[in-house]
Amino acid sequence: MRIGVLGAASIARRRVLPAMARRPELTLVATASRSLPKAREIAEEFGGEAVEGYERLLARDDIEAVYIPLPVTMHAEWTERALRAGLHVLCEKPLTGELGSTRRLTALARERGLTLMENLMYRWHSQHRTVRELLDSGAVGEVRTLTAEFAFPPKSPKDMRYQPVGGGALIEIGVYPISTALLYLGDRLDVLGASVRRHARTGVDLSGAALLSAPDGRYAHLTWGMEHAYRSVYEIWGSEGRLVVEWAYTPPATHSPVVRIEQQGRVERLTLPPDDQFGNVLADFGRAVRGADEGTHAEDSLRLAALMDDVATRVLMDDVATRVRSAASAPPRRTEGRRTTGSLPGVRPVRAGTPTLEGEKHG
């Protein structure tokens, strides 16, 4: 499959393009960037042509598909442009960051008979298939609770995750534990509560947590952030034991993952073969393009977008409640000789499913 890349992002250079180079069935034809020198750097390292401007790459007639590692705020626009150009698309997670846009793009891909896949790469690591097999065999009895945590230390303030528009820990990091809940507890999840901690000046969410429940009474406790010591783990607690995945989301291709099974008076550590989750998602994308794997990629993206939207709504409700409590506890102030209480600037009426805070970005 002949593929082009839109953008010169770090994730592409560090993980995806090296994995692509290891896949003989994939050919990198060209990389486009708004900065031609950046595109040339990638071409020199990984091959293909350097192209200045995303439009020029989409206009080429020698590519079948594109990989899009652009910032989240650009995903919807350039995914749609690529689909309308007749190209299959592998887009970095989250696909759009907004449920309505995700619905529109998956419908467009279906209408045009094109593959649209979201690169939430950890799901393609074989260790999670092993976990599923262990659960199905009754290794921990009946599943009661899932806990998933993904966080890492602060990065440069210039990192896109810290930008008021398109940044934030929920959309960039929370997507991992939230999707883990979908993976093991099913898609009929209710968000019982969610909250984030924000940067005092920019308002960007730096960390967060959510509590979810399934119809059968199982729960998911989820935590994420970008102001912590590194942690990338999930555990599933059942009626007869507990199963822990020790490096769940970002293991290198050379790493031998460990799954720990804890039962009464017994701990077993299963060391699994190394696996290349980036190479796997590229291979799966290629099979889907060739029609060898119909999969449920669009449906998976829609389910995740819907749950992310529910979490973002709960976060907004918590923000509003916090402001109300803050205003209620603030000392009275006088305006033009009249006694008044604190106001809530920027808050508009909240309608379920369509939260809005003026001047702030959520999720």
Residues annotated as catalytic (active site), given as ranges: 93
Q: Which residue has the tokens 């507990």?
A: 242
| Burial group, residue 351, by CB count within 10 angstroms (0-12, 13-18, 19+) | exposed
Q: What is the DSSP string of 124-184?
A: GSHHHHHHHHHHHTTTTSSEEEEEEEEE-----TTSGGG-TTT--HIIIIIHHHHHHHHHH
CA–CA separation, 83 and 216 (whole Å): 39
Token digits for 258? Answer: 């460990």
Residue 110's SS3 state is: helix
CA–CA separation, 122 and 173 (whole Å): 12
CB 3 within 8 A of CB 289: no
CA–CA separation, 141 and 91 (whole Å): 37
Nearest to 312 by CA among 249, 348, 355, 344: 355
| Cβ-proximal residues to 354 (8 Å cutoff; 6+ apart), any chain | none
Strand pairing category for 219-225 and 205-213: antiparallel
Burial 34-66 (b: 16+ CB within 10 A, else e): eeeebbbbbbeebebbbbbebeebbebeebbbb
| Paired residues of 340 in beta bridges | 333
Residue 362's SS3 state is: coil
